[in-house]
Copies of this chain bind each other. A is one copy, B any other.
Amino acid sequence: MGEIRYPLSINQATTREQWSLPEAIEGYARQDVRGIAIWRDKLAECGVEKARKRLADHGMTVTGLCRGGMFPAADAAGRQAAIDDNRRAIEEAVGVGASCLVLVCGGLPEGSKDLAGAREMVQDGIAAILPEARAAGIPLAIEALHPMYAADRNCINTIGQANDLCDTLGEGVGIAVDVYHLWWDPDLEGEIGRAGRAPGTRLLAFHICDWLVPTKDLLLDRGMMGDGVIDIPAIRGWMERAGYEGSAEVEIFSTRWWAADPDDVVAACIARHRTVC
């Protein structure tokens, strides 16, 4: 443990309120951060062709496209619309050379209390897009979200569930491990190990930030690494031992950091990555 320092990537959600995609690419590269995760709304503003050129000009690795998923819906038309949208996301991931498409799988359909049913819709949705993902060479990264998002964002709430889905669905599906969502899980070390032992490459991404005490908002109060209580080096050690060889991607949704000078945010990411991750 502690031998590997994963290359730094910044998820552009971290500077979402300050920078467009071209600005983020340039701003990250200016401080020699050569990894970025891209959001589809920002990509749509910029256009895939222009984004691809800017990424190449700055030697950027795209550690993920955010996001596919959101599969559960109250009716078949809604579920089909989600599947169609995920197929477009796969094409966009190819367009920017993303190493994976991150899936935030979706919560309960409007008016539903059937959590098990929503979880089945997630499995069915991923299965529906998997042929296209495999053909395109885009791994699908299931991101288990914190249980506080089970109702409205993602009914996949533990890495254990994500591993089960991977076992069921087979090649082409993996996992994005986000410390914010998973740090509390008593099975986290074991399930990261299980992912590492699975056939193929299941550990597709490693997202870092911190859990603040107190956390004042369910959505927009994530902390910079080192400002909270997550033992990030311990979790990184579990990722290392499981054979993960990608980047450490900073993803911070925070009204506080969104109000800061984005160059300072990037500098903070770099400094904390060196010292507390």
Whether A151 contacts B113 in the complex (CB less than 8 A), given A158-B186, A186-B157, A218-B218, comes out as no
For the complex formed, measure the closest distance between the CB of A147 and the CB atoms of chain B, giving whole angstroms: 4
* A147–B213 CB distance below 8 A: no
What string of 1s and 0s marks CB contacts (under 8 Å) between A135-174 and chain B? 0000000000011101110010110110000000000000
Complex CA distance for A186 and B163, rounded to whole angstroms: 13
Q: Is A215 positioned at the interface, with any CB of B under 8 Å from its CB?
A: yes
* B213–A151 CB distance below 8 A: yes
* B113–A213 CB distance below 8 A: no
Contacts of A119 in B (CB 8 A): 186
* A115–B183 CB distance below 8 A: yes
Contacts of A151 in B (CB 8 A): 184, 211, 213, 215, 228-229
Q: Is A37 positioned at the interface, with any CB of B under 8 Å from its CB?
A: no
Contacts of A75 in B (CB 8 A): none
Complex CA distance for A119 and B189, rounded to whole angstroms: 15
Contacts of A114 in B (CB 8 A): 231
Contacts of A214 in B (CB 8 A): 152, 218
- Partner of A148 from B148, B155, B185, B231 at Cβ < 8 Å: B148
For the complex formed, measure the closest distance between the CB of A254 and the CB atoms of chain B, giving whole angstroms: 15
Contacts of A113 in B (CB 8 A): 229-231
Contacts of A112 in B (CB 8 A): 229
Contacts of A184 in B (CB 8 A): 115, 147, 150-151, 155, 157
For chain A, residues 218 to 277, give those with C-beta under 8 angstroms from any C-beta of chain B: 218, 228-231
Most buried by B among A112, A151, A157, A213: A151
* A186–B161 CB distance below 8 A: yes
Closest to A114 in B: B231
* B213–A215 CB distance below 8 A: no
Residue pairs across A and B with Cβ atoms less than 8 A apart, 14 shown, are A108-B213, A112-B229, A115-B231, A119-B186, A147-B185, A148-B218, A150-B183, A151-B184, A151-B229, A155-B184, A157-B184, A158-B186, A216-B218, A218-B218
